[in-house]
Amino acid sequence: MITIVSGTNRPGSNTLKVAKYYQQAMADRGINTNLLSLDSLPENIIQTDLYGKRSDEFKPILELVNQTEKFVFIIPEYNGSFPGVLKVFIDACEFPASFYDKKCCLVGISSGKYGNIRGIDHFGGVCSYLHLNVMPLRLHIPAIKTELNEQNTFFREDTLKFTTEQIEKFILY
């Protein structure tokens, strides 16, 4: 089972648009995926699902994560790194059941010109600690506001080339 994680809880985010693009691209290749947008997390997750606590709202999310074998993380740049809500989500999951010895690929996006290079590097460190195996091909998509067309799909030749390569390699990973 593959789950695509939209790594922010920002409503209407470009991150969610990219996650949906990846989901459709995999569906076009006959691969069914789940989409987990962090805007579906319980609003009070810090009080309800950390330090051994578990809410009814988070249980189906945790079940999805624990059943997932491979993750695609779409991660926007927030203040030179990845969003705090993504770290809270990771912390709320179970260790080691949620991520240990599973696989993932990372896609960084930003409105700036570096495509969240630093945030993807930081998140890679978290993945290493969790024993979550990261596929070597990591993408960094800068100027995300200029990368998506009216249908919220990529249209630039180089971006299509690299996302296609990453998706195809990830399916085989």
Strands (E) across the chain are located at: 2-6, 33-37, 70-76, 103-109, 133-134, 139-141
- Strand, helix or coil at 122? helix
Residues 6+ apart with CB under 8 A from 64: 3, 34, 36
Over range 61-77, report the average pLDDT: 97
d(CA 122, CA 116): 10
Question: How far from 65 is each of 61, 92, 168, 173, CA to CA, in Å?
Answer: 6, 11, 22, 18
Torsion of CA 118, 26, 39, 68, to 10 degrees: -90
11-68 per-position pLDDT tens digit: 999 999 999 999 999 999 999 999 999 999 999 999 999 998 999 999 999 999 999 9
Given this model, what pLDDT does residue 52 score? 86
d(CA 171, CA 173): 6
pTM of the model: 0.96
Given this model, what pLDDT does residue 137 score? 97
Q: What is the rounded average pLDDT for all residues in the chain? A: 96
